[in-house]
Amino acid sequence: MSSRFVHPHGKQGRFASLVNRGFDLIRRTYGRLLDRAMQMRWAIVTAALLVMAAAWPLYRFSQKELAPVEDQGHISLFLDAAPDATVEAVNRESLKVIRAIATFPEAEFMWSLTAGWGGFGGMMTKDWRERARSTQEMYGDVFDAVSHVPGLRVFPRLDPPLPNAGQYDVELVLQSDLPADQMLDVASFVVDAGSRSGKFVYVDTDLRIDLPLARVEIDREQLADLGLDLAGVGQELGTLLGGPT
C-alpha cells in the first residue's frame, strides 16, 4: 500500500495535500472561533448556566422510560398446561384460544405451537389503518378472553420495544439452600405479594411441585408365569399413563 499511496522522496501527493489543507482550514476556523469566545467568556458562562437551569424542569417533570411501548401489531401468548396433560388435550384447548382470538375484529390471524407442557403463539392484527384500537387498548380484552379457557393458563404479552433477557417485564431469581418444598413456600409468598400489589397483570413462578406420582408394585413371579418382562410392562405403563415411567 505504501508503494501505491506514499509519494517518493518524502513528497506529498495530491490526496495527502488535499487532506492536510482541509485539516489546516478546520484548525484555523476553530482558532478564530475560540478567540472570539474567550473575548466574551462571561456571556458564554452565563448562557451555559441558563441552559443547565432550564434543563432541570425538563428532566424533573417529563415522563421517563427506557423505550416507549410501540404498536407492533402483535400480541404474544404463552400457554401453560397441567403437568400430566397430553399433547392432544393441550392442542384441543389451544383451539379454544384461537377461536377466542378470532372473535376480535382487529385480528388478522392467530398462530400457535403446542406441546405437552403448554406452548406459545401470537395474535397478528390488521394494519393500524384498518382498526380502531391499538394493541395496548386491546390488551385487557384479549387477556379477559383467553383467561376463560378452562384447560390452560394463557398469558398475553405485548412485545417489548427492546430485547430483554427473559419473557416477562420483571423477573426475580431466588437462591437458597432450602429444600424444594420450603422454597416453594417462599416463591408462593412472593407471588402472592406481587398479586396483592395490583401493579401486575399476572404473577407466576417456575418452581412447581405438582407432577403426579404413582407407585406400582409388580409381582415378578406372576409376570414370569405370563411370559412378560419388565421392559415390556414399562412401555405399556408409559403408554397408559401418557409418559415415561
Distance CA(54)–CA(77), nearest Å, equals 45
CA gap 181, 199 in Å, rounded:
27
- The mean pLDDT of the chain is 84
Is residue 75 a contact partner of residue 156, using CB atoms and an 8 Å limit?
yes
Last residue of a domain, one of 114, 129, 164: 164
Instruction: Find, among 75, 84, 105, 79, the residue nearest to 94 by Cα.
Output: 79
30 shares its domain with 89: no
Return the higher-pLDDT residue of 17 and 96. 96
- Give dist(CA 127, CA 106) in Å, integer: 9
Q: Write the pLDDT tens digit of every residue in 145-197.
A: 888 888 888 888 887 777 766 767 788 888 888 888 889 899 889 999 988 99
Q: Are residues 103 and 142 in the same domain?
A: yes
Q: How confident is the model at residue 241 (pLDDT cuts 50, 70, 90)?
A: low
For the whole model, what pTM was predicted?
A: 0.55
Identify whether residues 142 and 108 lie together within a single domain.
yes
Q: Which domain holds residue 42?
A: 2-61
Q: Is the pLDDT of residue 205 over 50?
A: yes
* Of 164, 189, 214, the domain-final residue: 164
What letter does residue 10 receive in the DSSP assignment? Answer: G
Residue ranges of alpha helices (H) inside the chain are 2-5, 14-39, 41-61, 87-102, 135-146, 180-197, 220-225, 230-241
User: How many folded domains does the chain comprise?
Assistant: 2
Asked if the structure places residue 197 within a domain, the reply is no
Cell 404473577 locates to: 203
Residues 19 and 89 in one domain: no
| pLDDT tens, residue by residue, 206-216 | 887 776 677 78
Q: What is the CATH number of the domain that holds 85?
A: 3.30.70.1430
Between the CA atoms of 4, 5, 6 and 11, what dihedral angle is there, to the nearest 10 degrees? 120
Comparing 136 with 238, which gets the higher pLDDT?
136
The Cα 111–Cα 125 span in angstroms is 12
Inform me whether the pLDDT recorded for 226 exceeds 70: yes
